[in-house]
Structure 1
Amino acid sequence: MFLQFRDIVKAVLKNAIKDAGYAVDKLELEPSPFADLASTICYRIASAYKISPDKAAENIVQNMDYESELFISEVRASGPYINFYASSYFFAATVRSIIEGDLGFNKKTGLVILEHTSANPDGPLHIGHIRNTVIGDTLARILRRAGWEVEVEYYVNDMGRQAAMVVFGLDHFELDRSKKIDHAIADVYINANRLLEREPELKSKVDELIKRNESGDEDVVSRFRQAVTLSLDGARETLARLGVVHDLFVWESDFVRSGDVAQIISEIVACPSIKVFEKEGALMIDLRDAGFDKEFVISRADGTSIYATRDLAYHRFKAERGDRVIDVFGADHKLISSQLSYILEKLGITKPEIVIFEFVSLPEGSMSTREGKFISADELIDEVEARARIEVNQRREDLPDEKRAEIARAVARGAIRFDIVRVAAEKPTVFDWEQALDFEKQGAPYLQYAHARCCSILKRASELGYDLELESIELLKHEQEVALIRMLSKFAYTIEEAAISLKPNMVATYAKNLVESFNIFYRDCPVLNSESRLKGARLALIEATKVILSETLETLGIEPLEEM
């Protein structure tokens, strides 16, 4: 409902500014700790009209006509700020709307194509990939919740040196089928690299595989496809454990086979605003005028294309189909993604919105698939599940073993996802085992427990014959009741803001704040022991909290458990 409140305030403020004799292009309207919404527009007006910000605020409020707006209770000029306060009608309407299934979203038109994870097919996903996965999947959930149609894609690198090393390795080493298939692929990849270190003259064999794959040699193409598919099968299993599904796997080689790569190279060469030159037989782009020190390679001296050129063809494919194109890349892609965006713009192709994330690590240290030094995502999930199982066993000895295992899996998934997504993408982070599994305050279990508590209260009320009462919602006037409803009202607003800014950590912060507000309400406002009508109103508030908390958790990819 907060989105509707904001729209009403915008209209009222816009008219008041006009009636006061001012003209502005922005309203500078944001949530405030001192009001439900506040505008700082008076600073801009003061500068443009040579008056004090305080006087501008007084003039605007004097011209404010909001008496007919049921959602606004009061408007005040507080120094240079214009503060708007929501009415008791708004708070009651918020609870009713949530329970009736109207969460306040507006349907969007258009398709968002979002690419995430897209790991090299040389072994299992590791914790470095997981941050990409969790950020990408959470963004997809946020965008869908905000009303967009979303297609999630995985770009399969089946033409690079990593894929060639796997194919080369499979020619020399047996695949250990007793292992999870992507872990077995990693063994082959590691052994292949060690073989080349001992016998560097074999590097020409790998180069030959790359050339034959790009030229369309049927036997080699088939071997690449089979090897990469094995690695992808393992990755899909791991992603499923985190609740992640991709809608489309797009193969890099398809853009070579279709001629799209050759076409985009031709267009780059023909583009008058792109400086192309040869260097030792390789085709290059001079990007110094764009502020890039590093040259951009289009094709190698032997005529084979490179990953970045094929990526340009892939981005054209996405731009032609999507109304918004979003890429989730690690910090090591910052330069290449900027170069890609520049070239796409010069070619008249819509450039993507890019989310760059810093890396997540474990206290154990760095990871390298090539050297065999990495902690796989599977190992991380196994470890968190084991630790979660210990916690659940201690807390719920009354439950059957199978149920405890089910809860532990849900707690582990939530713990991993929340600990990763709660930190802004642009900040590096270390995965903290203890904090991630904190049932008291820091981790996802704290959020899941609040949802379980809502379910428990409502179940107990039903057993005692108590019903929630929408007719009594106006009785919810306690400070903590109002604070909780205010938080509930901002769910759709938070989702909208996160969808626009592509900052999934905003939803994680909202989830934590919502649970803290609920816990304070529950501490200060008795539910089952309150008088009849107030009991029904407070049960309605708990039902609304359960609905929004469930929606919030699902948006974060965390299972809203009914018991813990």
Structure 2
Amino acid sequence: MFRQFRKDVIKSLQKFDVDERFVRESEHADLACTIAFKLAKEMKKKPQEVAEEIVSQLSIESDYIGSVEVVNGYVNFFASYEFLEDTINYILDSDEEYGSLALGGEVLIEHTSANPDGPLHIGHIRNSIIGDTLARIFRKAGVNVTTHYYVNDMGRQVALTVLGIEKFGLDKTEKPDHAVAKAYIAINRYIEEHPEEKDEIEAKVEELMKKYEEGDEETAKLFRDAVSRALEGAKETLENLNIVHDEYVWESEFIRNGYVDRIISMLDEKGLIQKDGAWTIDLSELGYKKNVVIRRENGTTLYVTRDLAYHLWKNENFERFINVLGADHKLIGSQLSDILKLIGLKPPEIVFFEFVSLPEGSMSTRKGKFISADELIDRVYREAYEIIKDRGFDEKEKRDVAKAVAIGALRYDFIRVAPEKPITFDWKKALDFERQTASYIQYSHARACSILRKAVSEGMPDLEFVGELCTPLERKLVMLLSKFSSVIERVVKELRPNVFAEYVMDVATTFNDFYTQHPVLKAEAEYRMHRLAIVDACRIVLRNGLEVLGIEPLERM
């Protein structure tokens, strides 16, 4: 609805060549136009004078524009009562579809893609939650979305894991990714404790990597078995976070299907490869200090080579492709993008995120010093259960609510912060029902459901929202509800899912202010049906918003 209001405002200003750049949301109006400041410089007049001239020449044909005023050079637009009424009615009629768009197109979102040498840890799941939330937002926008987990099955870590499993075996009683981690940690510890064998082990690693790339069947079976076990456990962890990938794409596939040979040929044809033992690309003219190695002296390729091949495939199969990567991948991400541009291919859109820490400190999978995502999920679940255990639920309900609250706490706390900012996850704060957390939003939704249940038990009237009855706070709330699809569209453009998380929180906060300050069930009949319509609209927006965030919208808490 708000998108239509914005279009109507821009249309009313069309004779002044106004576009999106000059119309913005404001604390002092529903929309403010800044074109007068630009024109004032050209006309050598005061912005206030120009703005008043603009208003005198406006051609308003929209029923959604209620009033216009000029303040200090800004042309301020306010929505009409009809807009407010149509917004509430549209939300109630659309219900589950509210907030959806039909932007069309297709996008590939690659996220998580953790090395298969152990379980996912808290850093990995920030990647997963960002990627999955983006996918949900794109789907809500009507875009055809495919999600990929890019499996690094050719790296040194996997070769070491294979050796670790061969030497120390696997604990079949453990979750498979944790068992794989034990073998990986054990082989690394063994190397540290037996430095005299380090060169021999490194030679075995190199031999395994070479054989796997060359397609040796026995070696391939060892690699596939180790990686598949790690992925089996990772999939279970991700499903517990309400995350499912459409496809798991193995790095080695691009050796087997010819894309690595194709990308090397393309680079060679452009004269970009320097062949002096190892094959390298000189990017010094672009400011890089070291050459990018794409092929070792022994003929094996590197991660960046296969990644280039993967992105050749992406170029051929998708209009738009997005990678979610940790901040430690900025260099390789920049190199990848610049090399793709040099051979005329589109680079990925990359969302870089900073790392997550716990008060306990830093982590290292190699040394066995990490907090797995499974441990974190279990810990937050247990704390959530303690919080709700004395409420009037049966045992199954307690477990279900605790799980929904715990997963909501993790997902929201990891997405509410802009990707480029680091996070220290504090479960106590994340589970605080009084703070701005997922549980606060879930509780707001449950409160709306409770109000409506009571209204039904008391004889629910026909809901009728009346714009003229709106208090300033009610008007503010309805305007906020109208912006759902506008925020969805913004995230699709900017790739900042935290913006949507902030929006849903704003709705919850404003709804609770409304509920605190305005009687609903005890209001006089006319106001009662009007305010119940607002409550129902808030319920729909909160539910739809939580679902887009991958969080269960609880009806009872």
For each residue in 1:122-148, what CA deviation from the matched residue of structure 2 results, as whole angstroms up to 9, or x when unmatched? 000000101101111111111111111
Aligned partners of 1:196 and 1:203 also within 8 Å: no
| 2:440 aligned counterpart, secondary structure | helix
Aligned partners of 2:10 and 2:20 also within 8 Å: no
In the superposition, the TM-score normalised over structure 1's length comes to: 0.95
Please name the residue that 2:26 is paired with: 32
Matched, 1:223 2:218: no
Please name the residue that 2:269 is paired with: 270
Matches within 5 A, 1:327-342: 327-342=323-338
Please name the residue that 1:376 is paired with: 372
Aligned partners of 1:435 and 1:442 also within 8 Å: no
Please name the residue that 1:519 is paired with: 512
Letter in 1 for 2:486: Y
Residues 333, 173 of structure 1: alpha-carbon distance in 2 compared, 3 angstrom cutoff: same
Aligned partners of 1:331 and 1:359 also within 8 Å: yes
- The Cα RMSD (Å) is 1.4
Matches within 5 A, 1:284-303: 284-303=280-299
Measure the CA separation in 1 of the matches of 2:462 and 2:354: 46
Range 429-438 or range 378-387, more displaced: 429-438
Residues 476, 221 of structure 1: alpha-carbon distance in 2 compared, 3 angstrom cutoff: farther
Measure the CA separation in 2 of the matches of 1:356 and 1:47: 39
Matches within 5 A, 1:5-84: 5-15=5-15, 17=16, 23=17, 27-66=21-60, 68-84=61-77
Measure the CA separation in 1 of the matches of 2:468 and 2:527: 6
Measure the CA separation in 1 of the matches of 2:545 and 2:18: 36
Measure the CA separation in 2 of the matches of 1:48 and 1:247: 54
Q: Among 310, 318, 322, which residue is 2:318 paired with? A: 322
Measure the CA separation in 1 of the matches of 2:289 and 2:46: 48
Residues 162, 43 of structure 1: alpha-carbon distance in 2 compared, 3 angstrom cutoff: same
Residue segments in structure 2 that go unaligned for 5+ positions in a row? none
Please name the residue that 1:137 is paired with: 132
Identity of aligned residues (%): 49
Matched, 1:460 2:457: no
Matches within 5 A, 1:415-434: 415-434=409-428
Please name the residue that 1:308 is paired with: 304
Measure the CA separation in 2 of the matches of 1:27 and 1:504: 22
Aligned partners of 2:65 and 2:78 also within 8 Å: yes
Deviation at 1:105, TM superposition (A): 4.1
Matches within 5 A, 1:15-414: 15=15, 17=16, 23=17, 27-66=21-60, 68-101=61-94, 103=98, 105-197=100-192, 198=194, 199-200=197-198, 201-272=200-271, 274=272, 276-279=273-276, 281-394=277-390, 396=391, 398-414=392-408
Measure the CA separation in 1 of the matches of 2:100 and 2:10: 17
Residues 40, 363 of structure 1: alpha-carbon distance in 2 compared, 3 angstrom cutoff: same
Deviation at 1:216, TM superposition (A): 0.5
Aligned partners of 1:110 and 1:322 also within 8 Å: no
Deviation at 1:475, TM superposition (A): 5.0
Measure the CA separation in 2 of the matches of 1:536 and 1:391: 35
Measure the CA separation in 2 of the matches of 1:24 and 1:73: 19
| 2:120 aligned counterpart, secondary structure | coil
Measure the CA separation in 2 of the matches of 1:334 and 1:46: 43
Letter in 2 for 1:537: H
Q: Among 489, 497, 500, which residue is 1:504 paired with? A: 497
Letter in 2 for 1:506: V
For each residue in 1:126-172, what CA deviation from the matched residue of structure 2 results, as whole angstroms up to 9, or x when unmatched? 00101101111111111111111110110011111111111111111
Residues 8, 26 of structure 1: alpha-carbon distance in 2 compared, 3 angstrom cutoff: closer
In the superposition, the TM-score normalised over structure 2's length comes to: 0.97
For each residue in 1:253-284, what CA deviation from the matched residue of structure 2 results, as whole angstroms up to 9, or x when unmatched? 01001121011011111115x4x3235x1111
Matches within 5 A, 1:409-558: 409-470=403-464, 472-558=465-551
| 2:534 aligned counterpart, secondary structure | helix
Deviation at 1:44, TM superposition (A): 2.1
Please name the residue that 1:20 is paired with: none
Letter in 2 for 1:517: T
Residues 24, 448 of structure 1: alpha-carbon distance in 2 compared, 3 angstrom cutoff: closer
For each residue in 1:94-130, what CA deviation from the matched residue of structure 2 results, as whole angstroms up to 9, or x when unmatched? 0000000063543122111000000000000000101
Deviation at 1:508, TM superposition (A): 1.2
Letter in 2 for 1:122: D
Measure the CA separation in 2 of the matches of 1:211 and 1:402: 52
Measure the CA separation in 2 of the matches of 1:292 and 1:141: 36
Measure the CA separation in 1 of the matches of 2:50 and 2:274: 59
Deviation at 1:334, TM superposition (A): 0.6
Residues 320, 49 of structure 1: alpha-carbon distance in 2 compared, 3 angstrom cutoff: farther
Residues 27, 502 of structure 1: alpha-carbon distance in 2 compared, 3 angstrom cutoff: closer
For each residue in 1:399-454, what CA deviation from the matched residue of structure 2 results, as whole angstroms up to 9, or x when unmatched? 11111011000000000011111110001110011110010122111110000001
| 2:389 aligned counterpart, secondary structure | helix
Aligned residues: 551
Deviation at 1:555, TM superposition (A): 0.9
Measure the CA separation in 1 of the matches of 2:255 and 2:378: 39
Letter in 2 for 1:231: A
Residues 445, 93 of structure 1: alpha-carbon distance in 2 compared, 3 angstrom cutoff: same
